Structure formats: structure tokens, C-alpha cells
Amino acid sequence: MLRAASGTKSLERNGQMYFEDPRSTFRLGDDHKIMVEFEWTGPVGLHHFQGMWKDPGNNVVSVGRFDFTAQNSPFAAYFTLLIDETAPTGIWGIEARIDGETAGTYSFEIVPADAPLPAAQPAPRVPPTTAEVYKQAQAATVFVEKLDEKGRPISRGSGFFVEPRMLLTTFENIDGASGLRVLFPDGRSETTNQILAWDRWQDWAIVRVNAADVPALKPVPQKSWNVGDRCYSLGISAGGRTIIEGGILGDVTQPRIGERLTVSFASEPSSLGSPLLNEFGDVVGMLGGELLPGLQNSEPPSQGGTDSLPAPRAAMADLAVPILSVKPPSTGQAPSALADLRAKGLFLRPLETNDEVAFATLSSGIDKRDGGPGMPRDWRNQFSLSDRQMFVFINWNPKRKYKGVASVHFFDLDNKELAQSSALKVNLQPDNFTRTYWTVPLNTFVPGAYRVDVYLGDAPAWRQYFRITP
């Protein structure tokens, strides 16, 4: 048995009962019904329950019986005793049995009609209904479109207001943007380039938006979640918001990126930045939290590879940034422009010409066949210094004519460029597959994780993360 409680008035939320008047003393004449709830941890499945009510003389005066199929553990059940003015006063009890075995006892007191009652216990906080959680979250959550220098949308994510004019979203949702367009639930839109606070590694950013009429969600004031807790978020269906119900599956902390929650929600990338809510509708986190900065703005590893690094999420939002990791700006703090973050080297350039790439990968070798330009021997993103070299392979499928050069650039995880290859001449014709590859000696790297960008001219076309081991 985990707990037991009693009262006379109750309501149900999400399969759990809450007493509106929690107490263990009842008075003849005023109270005509006593309810006792038990909660247990135990095996799921069908169980037979008995509640044996005992008067002050320890005599069994009533037995409640029912069968119940527990879908989850822990599970709860309650028993009800009806009393009138003739009920004996004193200390009563109830013995709960499950499948014939004693599963807990609980004591309470019945006092005479003229006896004073002890001070009322504070009523527990009752969670809102699922519909109420959805309404509140949907009103505060917006779409965040990342815009290029010409005002064209690059990608779409989500965000939600935590204070008036303060919109919380993932750093990935602003990374590389020249501007941001915020799309409100009522159909309005607003553009901004003002950032109040951010953390690239922890994957969050607070955007200044001049919309004081949008309600804000209430963050939890202190850590109050546990693995196994029920939680909610918002998904996307046919362009609109949906309520998602699930649970917190894990809670881990890693160097630099900080704490991450693992949740059971399956969602598309445009949901990243949506709130993660507890059963009361309070914010415990935000969907997102890439394990490498810029990962969502890279290509997934090619099929067949041995992946030592996480892949960008194409259909799963299974991580969340705890809200307590977000550090709000100080009062009166002036915002920074997106251009300021770019000048500091915090932004990755968007993949501006990725539609010219049919296939790309890193490989340990190139196998040439029939005198042709060759194909990659394998698909991987982990190499050892003993491999001595790796190959960057691109199979172009151009949509336009291009005669110029292509090059490879290498970066560390802080987005600092470390090296670049010599440029190779390319002559691309529409719908004419062309292959290009570079041989990269590994002795210029120390063990660690890196990023490689392939440029077509001066525009990034493909991006991948890789690791080098001793």
C-alpha cells in the first residue's frame, strides 16, 4: 500500500480520485457517508477487492466487494460506508484485501453530533481536465518560422510564451535565421529578430515578441517531476494543434548540454519547442534538446552506417529541455539581434543548396568500378586514427546548371572552422548525376566529434557530424 485517505466529497481527474474535504474525523448528523481510498503498487490485471468495515469494538459491520482490472501500476480503489445517527462513536477501521490477502488498513473516528471537529485539512490541488490543459496550452503556443535573408521560410518549429512578450523556443528553431515569423493561434503573424537570452548547447532561446495579449504558461518553481510522471504536450495534425498524453521515461545529465528528459511523445519536427506540461498544466520542460548543437540542421546518416553520434529527429520528439535549465533575462536587459548571434559564430548557415544533392555520405574508401568515378565502400560517421583517411562522397542531382567549384569545410562543435579542402571543379547539368569525392587524411584531427559541411560555390549543400577515436 502506498497511501490511504478519507473524506465525504470527491471528484475524479484522469482516473484518480481527489477528496474535496480530506479528513479522518466524521460527525453524526452532519456526515452520512464515509469514503476511504487506497493506492497500491502491484501487478496489473484482474483483481478481487474487499473492504471490511470494523466498528470501535472491532466487529465487522459491512463488507464491500468488487472486481477491478488494473491497467497500470500503481492503481487505486475506494470503499464507501453509509452511516446514520445510531452509528457507534469512536475509532473505526477498514481492512482492505486484494485477492484474499490483506493489503492495508486505515483508521478514522466518528464523533457525537455535538463534538467539535478538528481544523480542516488543506484540500489537495486538483488537476484540470485534459480539455482544460489543451485549451490553456494551445492559447499560449505558436509556430516559429525561420526566415532567410530574403524573408523566405526555411523551416517551422514551435514556441510558447512564459511571460508577456517573452517567447521560449529551441535554439535549433532560430539557428541560422535572418528573421523569425511568429504565427499566432488566431491567425495573426509578427516578424522579429530580437533575442533576449539563449544557450546553444542546452538548446533554448527566449525571443522578444511584441504581443502582450497572448497568455503565458506557468513554469514549475522548483524541480517537481519524477520518472514515471504523467505529462502532456502539443502535437501537430493537419496543420493544427493536438493534445498528446504520455509520461516521463528518463532524466539524465550530460556535460555541456545539461539535463534532458526523455518522454514518450512521438511528434513531427514542427512540434519541437512545444511545452511539456505536468498533470496540472504547469510547464516542466520544452520538447527539443538536441544532443549536439545544429544537429537538426544536418542530414541524417546514410542507411547502412555504424552511427556513433545521434541522428537528427525526423519523426520523434523524444527529448525535452527542463524548464529550470532556462535562465530568463535580467530586468531591463536589452535584446540582441539575430545578426549579433551570427557575428559571434553561434549560427550554422542553412543548407541553401541541399536540393542539388541526391546522396552523400562519409566512407572509409571508394570502390571504383568499370573505370567510373567510384562508389563509397561503406556508410559511417565514426573513424579511428588507424583508418588513416576518410572520404567525403557526394552524388549530385542538380536542378540547375552550375559550373564552378565544390569544397569541404570542417568545424568543431562550437562552430569554429578548423580546415577546408582544396576546391574541386564541378560542371553540373540538370538531372545529370555527377559524383564528387574528397580524400581526407585523419592525422590532422585529434580524437573527438566534428562537423563537415560540403559547399557548392559559397553555399552549404550537405552537412554531417562524425567522430574520430584513437
DSSP conformation class of 7: E
Domain 127-348 has CATH 2.40.10.120: yes
Q: What is the C-alpha separation between 212 and 196, in angstroms, rounded?
A: 16
Asked if 35 and 22 count as a contact pair (C-beta separation under 8 A), the reply is no
DSSP 409-451: EEE-TT--EEEEPPPEEEEE-TT--EEEEEEEEGGG--SEEEE
Cα dist from 417 to 297, 391, 412, whole Å = 17, 19, 7
- Domain residue ranges in the chain: 3-111, 127-348, 354-469
Phi, psi (degrees; rounded to nearest 5) at 295: -60, -40
Q: What pLDDT is stored for residue 304 in this prediction? A: 44
Q: Beta 382-384 vs 459-469: how paired, if at all?
A: parallel
Q: Are 66 and 49 in contact (CB under 8 A)?
A: yes
In the block, residue with C-alpha cell 503498487:
41
From 42, 62, 53, select the one nearest 6 (Cα to Cα): 53
Q: Which three cell numbers stand for residue 153?
A: 521560410
Q: What is the pLDDT of residue 314?
A: 46
Predicted pLDDT of residue 313: 53
Listed residue (83, 329, 28) closest to 197, CA to CA = 329
Burial class (CB in 10 A: 0-12, 13-18, 19+), 167: buried
The residue ranges of the chain whose pLDDT is under 50 are 303-306, 314-317
pLDDT of residue 148: 92
Q: If you search the block for the grid coordinates 535572418, which residue do you land on?
A: 178
Task: Look up the pTM and report it.
Answer: 0.82
**According to the model, what pLDDT value does residue 311 have?**
54
* Under 8 Å between Cβ of 40 and 74: yes
CATH of 3-111, one of 3.90.1150.10, 1.10.10.10, 2.60.40.1930, 1.20.120.160: 2.60.40.1930
Give domain 354-469's CATH superfamily.
abc- transporter (atp binding component) like domain (2.70.50.60)
Do 354-469 and 127-348 fall under one CATH topology? no
Would you state the pLDDT for residue 72? Answer: 84
Distance CA 440, CA 420 (A): 10
pLDDT of residue 299: 62
Number of other CB atoms surrounding residue 184 within 10 Å: 16
